[in-house]
């Protein structure tokens, strides 16, 4: 009888331990599925609190869950003005042909291209540079090519990585240095060894800031460069509201230093209301963010347009 009871006790202990291990595995899987922001309920509570703030401040754009919210902002946003090269000042005075138009349209969509996903690597600076090049190529040739961000991540000569970079890396894709096609140098989202595989696409003849490397140019100046070059790369300040953006005209203007590179590829001078304009912004966080990867953001909000720059072909 004692042996029987002992056996039952051992079996019960084994079952409890097995159930605990199963629970741990499930909890671990749930945590993985939820990402770094915690349980679904906690995320929803956080979003509801943010929605209450937006309503109190009178904003009408919507926020919600997206893939980018699985990562901390400082992991996604790797644009760092402190990493600017000493030669940047030389690119603040464009030396190029003069583009003239009688009047810019009230709304315009340039060469936006497809939305990419940088994943958990803070390589937004590379996506900004390559996006501007792709816009310029499409403007000049009528065809939108897919060029390699990974090549710039791996091969830039400034030591830029997933931990940060700046627009200075434009110098690594201007003559005589080449950029590559995405098809033969695909993005993996980890800085690796620079490959010498011969799949050169072409090179930029030059690049310039629209204004300076440390300010926001006039709205009309950025519009002119989008009109003349297809799109421009620029900086913006990202906070939790920007990260959670879903749809509508983003009008919140929080205070902070620029930390993220994006593409500006269009505008509408009445998007946020009569006489209240906004940029069409392309992000690099995949299509689950924003309006299938795009955002409408009111002029100057979140310092959007800071250090705007463009490529010449």
Catalytic residue positions? Answer: 124, 260
What is the chain's length? 313
Pinpoint the alpha helices (H) of 156-289: 219-229, 240-243
Provide Rg for the chain, Cα atoms. 24
Burial of 172 (0-12, 13-18, 19+ CB in 10 A): buried
d(CA 62, CA 243): 12
3-state class (DSSP) for residue 61? coil
Provide the phi-psi class of 106: left if phi over 0, else alpha when psi is between -120 and 50, else beta. alpha
How many other CB atoms sit within 10 Å of the CB of residue 219?
A: 16
Residues 307/199, Cβ–Cβ less than 8 Å: no
Show the tokens assigned to 133.
């090049």
Q: List % helix, strand, coil for the chain (3-state, nearest 5).
A: 35, 20, 45
Burial of 94 (0-12, 13-18, 19+ CB in 10 A): middle
């Amino acid at each position: 009888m004692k042996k029987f009871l002992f056996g039952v006790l051992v079996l019960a202990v084994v079952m409890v331990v097995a159930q605990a291990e199963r629970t741990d595995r499930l909890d671990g899987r749930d945590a993985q599925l939820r990402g770094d922001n915690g349980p679904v309920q906690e995320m929803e509570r956080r979003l509801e609190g943010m929605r209450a703030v937006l309503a109190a401040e009178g904003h009408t754009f919507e926020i919600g869950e997206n893939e980018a919210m699985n990562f901390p902002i400082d992991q996604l946003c790797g644009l760092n003005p402190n990493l600017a090269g000493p030669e940047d000042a030389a690119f603040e005075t464009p030396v190029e042909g003069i583009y003239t138009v009688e009047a810019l349209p009230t709304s315009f969509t340039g060469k936006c291209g497809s939305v990419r996903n940088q994943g958990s690597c803070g390589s937004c600076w590379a996506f900004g540079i390559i996006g501007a090049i792709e816009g310029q190529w499409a403007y000049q040739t009528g065809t939108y090519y897919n060029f390699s961000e990974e090549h710039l991540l791996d091969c830039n000569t400034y030591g830029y990585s997933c931990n940060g970079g700046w627009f200075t890396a434009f110098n690594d894709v201007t003559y005589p240095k080449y950029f590559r096609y995405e098809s033969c140098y695909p993005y993996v989202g980890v800085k690796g060894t620079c490959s010498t595989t011969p799949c050169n696409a072409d090179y930029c003849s030059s690049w310039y800031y629209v204004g300076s490397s440390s300010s926001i140019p006039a709205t009309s100046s950025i519009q002119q460069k989008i009109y003349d070059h297809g799109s421009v790369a620029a900086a913006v300040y990202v906070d939790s509201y920007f990260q959670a953006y879903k749809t509508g005209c983003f009008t919140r203007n929080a205070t902070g230093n620029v930390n993220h590179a994006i593409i500006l590829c269009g505008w509408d001078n009445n998007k946020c209301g009569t006489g209240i304009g906004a940029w069409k912004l392309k992000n690099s966080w995949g299509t689950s963010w924003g309006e299938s990867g795009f955002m409408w953001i009111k002029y100057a909000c979140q310092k959007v347009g800071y250090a705007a720059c463009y490529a010449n072909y």
